[in-house]
Amino acid sequence: MKISRVLVIGGAGYVGSHFSFFAGNNGLKVTIMDNLSKGHRSALRCSEFIEADLLNYDNFLKHLSDNKYDAIFHFAASCLVGESVQDPAQYYKNNILAAFNMLEAMRLTGHDKVIFSSTCAVYGYPQRLPLDENHPKNPISPYGRTKLAIEWMLEDYNVAYGIRSAQLRYFNAAGCEPDFGLGEDHKPETHLIPNVVRFALKLSDELTIFGDDYPTRDGTCVRDYIHVMDLADAHLKACSKLDEVPMIRYNLGTGRGYTNLEVVDSVRRISGVDIKPKYGPRRPGDPAELVADAALAHENLDWKPTRSDLDSIVKEVIKWFSLCPQGYPN
């Protein structure tokens, strides 16, 4: 079935705004729903925006009763690992309860297709690398646990009510579209690339690398960076795949990992600034290495990352912060 009208929940955020931009460019009519708790009005790329909270079930049910979407893309979540340890209640509420609201409203209004942002945090500490989808799931943070619980909920809703779902486990989302006014602007920012770039551009005073005694090639953590536009492409392909199969769960990554110091080195080379990070202790729950085996997505979605080269990502992020040193204006 050719989809034409989609609802993007959390579309004012980092990944959701890039997806909405991509979907619009691919001819889809995009409605975004976001409560703007973390998102940005100037990141909106859609034909219609609804400022609303998914936790408001009655409101959402009414919206889905009055509107028919071909698919729903769910990006809205609380997604800071450390914060989830400090305040799990927020995570169980904003992730699990809100996803439950969405699924209930979908069930009652005959919406049967959802594409869900999951995460490699569902795996916990790797027992083998690269991580494939069958790797045991032992999430170590409330954040990862809520995502895994939602995956289970999606599976049960598929079996019982026929709601089809794509559950996409991203590794580290990175990169942006500075030429189209889109960037990464989380507050607080916990992701390495924007933090290294901000430090190089003197937009922040401190850069800490957490742990230099990991069993990796230079002692720092290894992560797999996947460009947000590659993620966007995989989302549309996953949505089409749901015409053939009722449920899919795929890793989205490149299969190549970079150490924290390799990221610092890339920013140093490209910006020409000699960056000297500080070293702090390891953060609890940070595995030494997280790298995806994304063969399933590559084969079954006919998807291949085309924009995830680290140096290109770094160039874009430097451009974004040069154009918008404080991030989005609102």
Q: Which residues of 25-54 are buried (b: 16+ CB within 10 A; e: fewer)?
A: eeebebbbbbbbebbbebbbbbeebbeebb
With CB under 6 A as the rule, give the number of residues binding ligand NAD.
27
Catalytic one of 14, 143, 214, 250: 143
> Nearest to ligand NAD by Cβ — which residue?
13
Q: Is 15 in the site for ligand NAD (CB under 6 A)?
A: yes
Smallest distance from the beta carbon of 116 to ligand NAD, in angstroms? 8
Smallest distance from the beta carbon of 44 to ligand NAD, in angstroms? 10
Q: Is 39 in the site for ligand NAD (CB under 6 A)?
A: yes
* DSSP per-residue letters across 53-70: -TT-HHHHHHHHHH---S
Q: Does an H or E element contain 167, and which?
A: strand 164-170
Q: Is 172 in the site for ligand NAD (CB under 6 A)?
A: yes
Q: Which two tokens stand for residue 187?
A: 């507050």
Smallest distance from the beta carbon of 303 to ligand NAD, in angstroms? 17
Residue 33 to residue 66: CA distance in whole angstroms: 15
Q: Is 12 in the site for ligand NAD (CB under 6 A)?
A: yes
Closest alpha carbon to 148 in 223, 205, 77: 77
Q: Which residues contact 274 (CB under 8 A, 6 or more apart)?
A: 268
User: Which 52-111 residues touch ligand NAD, going by CB under 6 A?
Assistant: 53-55, 75-77, 79, 94, 98
- Interface residue with ligand NAD among 6, 16, 122, 318 (CB under 6 A) is 16
Polymer length in residues for the chain: 330
Q: Is 183 in the site for ligand NAD (CB under 6 A)?
A: no
- 125 an active-site residue? no
Residues labelled as active-site residues: 143
Query: Which chain residues interact with ligand NAD by CB under 6 A?
Result: 10, 12-16, 34-39, 53-55, 75-77, 79, 94, 98, 117, 119, 170, 172-173, 186
